[in-house]
């Protein structure tokens, strides 16, 4: 088991790892729409936050030795289920060949009061 750490995704804001490499599998922690270089939440609405969170996830998955077309499962946590279709439009631009299995859950609150968080499991 190896701990993955990259500057191209937000640093952990608690006692956890950005991702874990376990043989041929990568398990990411939840990724939020934070700009890695500044630690600031991306400005704008749910579309901008979805793009940043998915870019952060892509960077983390790639720096873990995998790729977005090898992601087998995601979980998307969203603040408002009314944003589901907007998030889906952005999500579809990041997963274009093999679509992973996915769960989407509306939650009461997310870290730093962001609008969404996403985690993934990928094969290396």
**Catalytic residue positions, numbered:** 104
Strands 19-22 and 2-4: antiparallel
What pLDDT digit, counting tens, does each position of 46-68 carry? 999 999 999 999 999 999 999 99
d(CA 72, CA 83): 23
Domain coverage including residue 79: 2-123
Residue 79: per-residue pLDDT = 97
Averaged over 80-106, what is the pLDDT? 96
Strands 19-22 and 25-28: antiparallel
Averaged over 11-22, what is the pLDDT? 93
Residue 36: per-residue pLDDT = 96
**Is residue 119 scored above 90 in pLDDT?**
yes
Q: What is the DSSP string of 38-76?
A: T-PBPPSSHHHHHHHHHHHHHHHHHHTT--GGGEEEEEE
Tell me the CA distances in angstroms from 116 to 16, 34, 43, 91, 123, one per residue in order: 19, 11, 13, 12, 24
User: What's 16's domain CATH number?
Assistant: 3.30.1330.40
**Is residue 13 scored above 90 in pLDDT?**
no
Averaged over 66-87, what is the pLDDT? 98
Residue 122: per-residue pLDDT = 98
What pLDDT digit, counting tens, does each position of 107-117 carry? 999 999 999 99
**Average per-residue pLDDT for the chain:** 96
Q: What's the structural domain count of the chain?
A: 1
What pLDDT digit, counting tens, does each position of 29-44 carry? 999 999 999 999 999 9
Tell me the CA distances in angstroms from 66 to 26, 39, 100, one per residue in order: 8, 24, 14
């Amino acid at each position: 088991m190896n701990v993955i750490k990259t500057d191209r995704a937000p640093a952990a804001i608690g006692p956890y790892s950005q991702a874990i490499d376990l043989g041929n599998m990568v398990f990411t922690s939840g990724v939020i729409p934070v700009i890695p270089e500044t630690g600031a939440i991306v400005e704008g609405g749910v579309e901008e936050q979805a793009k940043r969170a998915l870019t952060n996830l892509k960077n983390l998955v790639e720096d873990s030795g995998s790729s977005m077309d090898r992601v087998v499962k995601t979980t998307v946590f969203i603040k408002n289920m009314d944003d589901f279709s907007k998030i889906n439009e952005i999500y579809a631009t990041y997963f274009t060949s093999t679509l992973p299995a996915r769960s989407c859950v509306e939650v009461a609150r997310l870290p730093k009061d962001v609008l969404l968080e996403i985690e993934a499991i990928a094969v290396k």
